[in-house]
Amino acid sequence: MLAFLKDRFDIRLGLITIGLLIIGALSVYSAVYDARMADVFHKQIFWICGGLVVLVLLWTMPFRFLQFISYPAYFTSLAMLLAVLLLGKTVSGSTSWFNLGAFRLQPSEFAKITTTLALAQYLSASDVSLRNLKHLAIAAGIALAPITLIMLQPDLGTAVTFGGMFLSILYWGGASRFTLMAIVGPIVVAIAALFGTTAFLIAVVVVGILLFLTRDHNILAAVAFSLTVLIGISVQSIYDGLKPYQQKRIATFLDPSADPLGAGYNILQSKVAIGSGGLFGKGYLHGTQTQLNFIPEQWTDFIFCVPGEEFGFMGAVVVLGLFTALLSRGVTIASIVRNRHSSFLAIGLTGIFAAHIVINIGMALGLMPVIGVPLPFLSYGGSALIASMSIVGILLNLYAHRKEY
């Protein structure tokens, strides 16, 4: 029995997940301890239990079933994203949830998984290559369909995490360096444009050189460079078209101290909380920023502050170490599976985790704009937690069937 379990269950991935769930539960409890919101912690424990059930179901389901449901699950998720725009509940300016009484379902969290399934199914075909422009365009269309619906909610944070998944799959699938640069370049230039003309010009020159060095065709390189410059020049117009709260988030990212008691409050308090933890922290349930509720609803997007303040630098290192190990296991599974669909699926799901981790912790440290991206296994929230557990369940399934073609 033990030998069978060892062969069919990735013990390291299982232990990493349990470790993160324990840290998450302790962090949520601490965050609501003095806020008199015990129901938040109780709900989180309920969702952890529900997530474990989902994990086991996905781990034990027939391997080929994941391939069979790839396209049906994808189109179902598109239908749900469309339905939520018409029937969903609006919270903080975004119509992203179905109100199911005690539970709010966020379809976009699961759309990331179903989109990865669809991309893996399409790209695993023997006659499909990411170096073929037509095939690349179809793959991009599969990713852009849910992203477009999510942007209409609008939910920029969730839409951005699709990028981490898609870029991971492109790289893993052998897309050319030019293709990757043509996608990343406009993003870099657009961000640089927010910091002023000098930063914009430097970014344009660097991206232009890289496009030239990685080019497959001179005309395509010229087109990609032109579009990159055009996007950079359009940033101000795009910024002017954003909703006021979105503009405020970007302005706060650029200079949190400009509005220390308003839009920049959370970021500044988050940095104070993490910095005040020192080397070993203030002790569990003794974090002043946490227990005195300086950070509103800290149990959601800014949950990383809790271990950072109460367990200090060493606590933050443990959390980052577990996340690094999680991503490492995902890449390892993608490397050892013999099935092409499984490999694409594993790397795409790992890319989702990577995007969430980098953006959320970047938000807490003031290195990223606050765009509402939860930290896997730690942040409070049913849909996000169950989606994370679903990803682990699928990775465990892929590991169990790693020897199958």
pLDDT digits (tens, 9 = 90+) for 50-83: 999 999 999 999 988 999 999 999 999 999 999 9
pLDDT at 240: 75
Domain range list for the chain? 2-400
**For a pLDDT cut of 90, what percent of the chain falls above it?**
58
* Gap between the Cα atoms of 107 and 169, Å rounded: 22
Contact 211, 382 (CB under 8 A): no
pLDDT at 119: 97
User: What mean pLDDT do residues 188-206 have?
Assistant: 89
Dmax (CA) of the chain:
64
In a 3-state reduction of DSSP, which class is residue 281? Answer: coil
Query: Confidence class of residue 399 from pLDDT cuts 50, 70 and 90?
Result: very high
Residue labelled with tokens 């699950």 = 73
Tokens encoding 368: 């990223």
| Comparison of pLDDT for 140 and 196, the residue scoring more | 140
Contact 162, 359 (CB under 8 A): no
Query: Exposure pattern of 51-67 as b/e (b: 16+ CB <10 Å)?
Result: bbebbeebbeeeeeebb
* Gap between the Cα atoms of 96 and 325, Å rounded: 31
| Comparison of pLDDT for 364 and 329, the residue scoring more | 329
Percentage helix, strand, coil for the chain under 3-state DSSP, each rounded to 5: 75, 5, 25
Mean pLDDT taken over the chain? 88
Q: What is the pTM of this model?
A: 0.91
CA dihedral for 289, 295, 300, 302, sign (positive or negative): negative
pLDDT digits (tens, 9 = 90+) for 7-56: 889 999 999 999 999 999 999 999 888 767 778 899 999 999 999 999 99
pLDDT at 263: 55
Contact 355, 161 (CB under 8 A): yes
Contact 130, 174 (CB under 8 A): yes
Contact 233, 192 (CB under 8 A): no
